[in-house]
Amino acid sequence: MKKSHVKLIGTVLMVSFVGSLLSACGGSKSTSSKKSVTDTSPITFTIFDNNHNGGAFDDPIAKEITKKTGVTLQYLPNAGVADEKLNLMLASNDMPDLVQISRGSDPMNKYINAKAVIPLNDLIDKYGPDIKSNYGDTLKKIKSDDGKNYYLADWFNSSVQKEPVFGFLMRKDYLKQVGVSQDKIDGTTPFTADEFEQLLKDFKAKIPAVNGQTSIPLTYWQENFSSGVLGSFQGMYGLTAYTVDSSNNLKLSYRDPKYLEMLKYMNKLQSEGLVDKEWPANKKALYLQKLTSGTVLGTPDAYWNPSDADSILKKQSVDSEFYPYKVVAPGIDPGKTTYGPTSLLGWDGCMITKNNKNPERAMKFLNFLASDEGQYLTQWGIKGVSWDIVDGKHKPLPNVLEDFAKDSSNYTKTTGIRKYALVFKGGAAPDGTPYDMAVRYQRDEIATHAIKALGDTSYDTSAFDNLGPDAGSPESLMATKINDISNVAITKIVLAKNESEVVSLYNNMISDMDRAGMSTVEKIRSANYKKRLVLWK
C-alpha cells in the first residue's frame, strides 16, 4: 500500500489510524504541555524527514509552532531518495538534530544499531508528560530489544477501527445493469466466490462491448499485483502474512492450504476469460486508461488507488465510480475476512540523533506536538482561522474541507495543516470528531461505502511487523530470494493452463522456497515474534 496516500485519505493500506486523546481545545483541559515547554527562546533544529522534501518553515502552522515553543525546523531535502540520503549521513556522521524514518526499516535499524540516535526513556520521564499520556502502552510496544525507546511513532493507534484497505472494486451502474440485488449493490451483503464468478460472466454476456471496445469483467494493475491484487484475494480467504501454531511458531502463509485454494480460484477466473488477458503489461497509465474507458466492471485493489479514474468517471455519475466490495471464499466466516491490514504502531519514527546539542529542548518540543493543543494545531490548524467550537464540538470553518477536496497537496503546503505529523496519533477525540480533520471529518461516497462493506475486515498487523532477519545478513538474502521466487511463480500459476498445472507449479514454488531457506527464515521470525510477545507484557 502506498503510504503517502494512506496518510492523505486514511493507507493501507494500510492503512486505519484511530485512537483517543484528551482535548484541550475541545473543552477538556491539559496543562502538562505548558509546564514542559518553559523555554521559548529561539532555537533551530535541523531535521531529515523521509516524507518531507525540504522547504521553509514559514507557513501559518509553522509560525504558530515557533510562537508556542521557540522552535524552528530546518528541513533537509530528501530529493526522493530518502534511504540513500540517510545512509550517507550515517556514514559521514553528518546527521541532523532529528530524523524521521520509516518504522522498522533498514535505515532505522542501522541508526539504532550504530548508536547514532539516543535512547529517549529518561527524556520522556523528565520532559514528556503528554507523550506518556498520549502513547500509553504504545511506548512499550515500540521499544527495541534492549528495552529502550529510540523513536516516537507517528500515525499510531490504540485500537483497530473500521478502516478497510483492499476490496473488489466495481462500478455500481454496471452492477445495476447486470441485475445485482440492491443489498449487494449497497454493500450490505457480501458476494460469495460463486456469486462473484457468476457476476463476471453475466457482465461479459450482457455488456459484451462498450463504445465499440470489448468489455473486461476484471483487470489487474500489474505493478501493484503483490499488494492490491493479492491483498484483495487473500482478504476473501482470510489469509494474513503468517499462520501461528499453539507454540507461537510462525509459518509463511504460502504454506497455508487456503493459499493454494486462492491460487486455484484466481486461475479459474483467468482460464474462463473473465480477467484481462493483458494484465501482465498493465503499467499504471494503461491500468487507469482502461478503468476510465468504461470497458471494465471491476479490479481488486486498495480502494483509493483508482481515484484519478474515479474523478473522471464521476462526471458521468457517482455510480460510475469504482466502489469496494467484499467477496467471501468458501468456508470462510464473512467477519473473518482480512481486507483491512493495519499496524497500530504507525508508519514512521522520530528520533533524536547524537549530534543534537540540546536533546532536552527537542523532547519538550516533541511533547508539545504530542499534547492536545499540538495535535489540534498540526491537524486542524488555528482556532478561528480554520475551525471553531460549535455545541461543544470541533467544526471546520466554511470552505476548509472544500479547499482540501479541491487540492489537498496545495492546501497543506500553504496552510501547514497535516504537514507536521511527527508524533501524530490519529483517531477520534473525546468530542467524537476525528483528529484527522481533512480526511475523516467528512467522508466521500467511496470511503463511506468502504467502511460499510468492509469495515469489519480490519485487523492489527503490529505483532508481526518487521520480524525478518537483520539487514545484510545471509538470512536476509534468503528472505529476499523467497520473495523473488513468489513474484515470478505466482504470476505463472495464475496464468496456468489448468488446475493440474496450478498444483504442480505451486508445489515447485514451495520446493524452491524451501531450498532458498524458507524454514530458516521462519525460525528467525518465530524467535523474534516470541521475543516481542515477552517485551510487550
pLDDT tens digits along 75-89: 998 776 888 899 999
> Does 462 map to a domain?
no
Tell me how far CA of residue 186 lies from CA of 28, 80, 91, 270, in angstroms: 39, 40, 55, 27
The answer as to whether 455 is a domain residue is no
Q: Are residues 41 and 128 in the same domain?
A: yes
**Are 50 and 149 members of one domain?**
yes
Q: Is residue 385 in some structural domain?
A: yes
Could you tell me if residue 446 is inside a domain? no
Whether residue 450 lies inside any domain: the answer is no
pLDDT for the residue numbered 27: 35
Q: 110-138 pLDDT, tens per residue?
A: 999 999 999 999 999 999 999 999 899 99
H helices within 272-356, ranges in order? 284-293, 307-313
CA neighbor of 259 nearest in space, from 281, 236, 275: 236
Domain limits for position 232: 166-338
Same domain, 190 and 334: yes
Which residues have C-beta within 8 Å of that of residue 114, sequence separation ≥ 6? 90
Instruction: Report CA-CA distances (Å) from 469 to 109, 175, 483.
Output: 11, 46, 14
Looking at the fold, whether 125 and 173 belong to one and the same domain comes out as: no
Q: Over the stretch 348-384, which tens digit does the pLDDT of each residue have?
A: 999 999 999 999 999 999 999 999 899 999 999 999 9
Verify that 281 and 406 share a domain, yes or no.
no
pLDDT of 38 reads 67
Q: 273 and 204, same structural domain? A: yes
Query: 329 in a domain, yes or no?
Result: yes
Average pLDDT over residues 213-241: 97
Q: Are 156 and 345 in contact (CB under 8 A)?
A: yes
The gap from C-alpha 534 to its chain's centroid, in whole angstroms, comes to 26
Mean pLDDT to the nearest integer, 246-261: 97
Same domain, 75 and 201: no
Rounded to an integer, the average pLDDT of 465-480 is 90
pLDDT digit string (tens) for 151-193?
A: 999 999 878 888 899 999 999 999 999 999 999 999 999 999 9
Claim to verify: residue 206 and residue 242 sit in the same structural domain:
yes
In a domain? residue 392? yes
Give me the helices (H) in 253-358, please. Answer: 257-271, 284-293, 307-313
Task: Look at residue 61 and tell me whether its pLDDT is greater than 90.
Answer: yes
Query: What's the pLDDT band for 93 if we cut at 50, 70, 90?
Result: very high
Please say if the pLDDT value at position 10 is more than 90: no
Based on the fold, state whether residues 506 and 389 are members of the same structural domain.
no
Is the same domain home to 247 and 367? no
The pLDDT confidence band at residue 434, using thresholds 50, 70 and 90, is: confident
Is 457 part of a structural domain of the chain?
Answer: no
- Measure the N-to-C terminal CA separation of the chain; round to a whole number of Å: 30
Whether residues 327 and 180 share a domain: the answer is: yes
The helix or strand, by DSSP H or E, that contains position 352, with its residue range, turns out to be strand 348-352
Residues 119 and 258 occupy one common structural domain: no
Q: How many domains does the chain have?
A: 3
Query: Residue 178 corresponds to which cell in the numbers above?
Result: 447486470
Q: Could you give phi then psi for residue 351, rounded to 5 degrees?
A: -125, 150
- 37 versus 31: the higher-pLDDT residue is 37
242-244 and 209-210 strand pairing: unpaired
Say how far apart CA 231 and CA 224 lie, in whole Å. 10
CATH number of the structural domain spanning residue 324: 3.40.190.10
The helix/strand/coil state of 168 is strand
pTM comes to 0.84
